[in-house]
Amino acid sequence: MRILGIDPGLATMGYGVLDADGRKPLFVAAGAVITTPDMRMYERLLKIHDDVRDLIRLYQPDDIVFEELFFARNVTTALNVGAARGTALCACAEFTHNIYEYTPMQIKQAVVGYGKADKHQIQHMVKLLLNLPDIIRPDDAADAVAAAITHFNSGAMKEQFRMK
């Protein structure tokens, strides 16, 4: 099974791809879809859509996993990231309905063992769990890989995390 993890964002949308051989996740790729503030909003969303669609065509995932959005402060940021997330979801839905989501706390708990872990702890554990030579950069890509690891570890329970 191949898993594509996505950490939604407007400026930086992280992605990570893992293969599951049954016992442990195997790292395939990670990176980010980047848009810049000088682009118009519709151009940024179109780039996200097209790039996510290209990633799906390239890696052909069986399951796609999103980190659920959580914002407590900035409404404008929440709206922009929500638009980016929706655009990515539409691109994913063109290929599969095997789309899942996990909260940031669930991901931190699954990867680090502590639901309030910081970015550095997540990056370090992703590196250790996948036996990588270096920490995955940018942070958003490491977060996307962590979401994919969480999905891998959910096993038979994954259906409860299917996006509704």
Q: What is the largest CA-CA distance in the chain?
A: 45
In angstroms, what CA-CA distances link 143 with 6, 11, 34, 45, 102?
8, 15, 15, 21, 11
Catalytic: which of 51, 63, 67, 101?
A: 67
Catalytic: which of 7, 63, 101, 143?
A: 7
Say whether 67 is catalytic: yes
What gap in Å lies between CA 164 and CA 109, rounded to an integer?
Answer: 22
In angstroms, what CA-CA distances link 85 with 36, 52, 54?
16, 11, 16
Say whether 134 is catalytic: no
CA 8: distance to chain centroid?
A: 7
Say whether 19 is catalytic: no
Catalytic: which of 51, 63, 101, 140?
A: 140
The contacts of residue 117 (CB under 8 Å, 6+ apart) are 108, 111, 125
Count Cβ atoms within 10 A of the Cβ of residue 126 and give its class: 0-12 exposed, 13-18 middle, 19 or more buried: buried
Residues acting as catalytic residues: 7, 67, 140
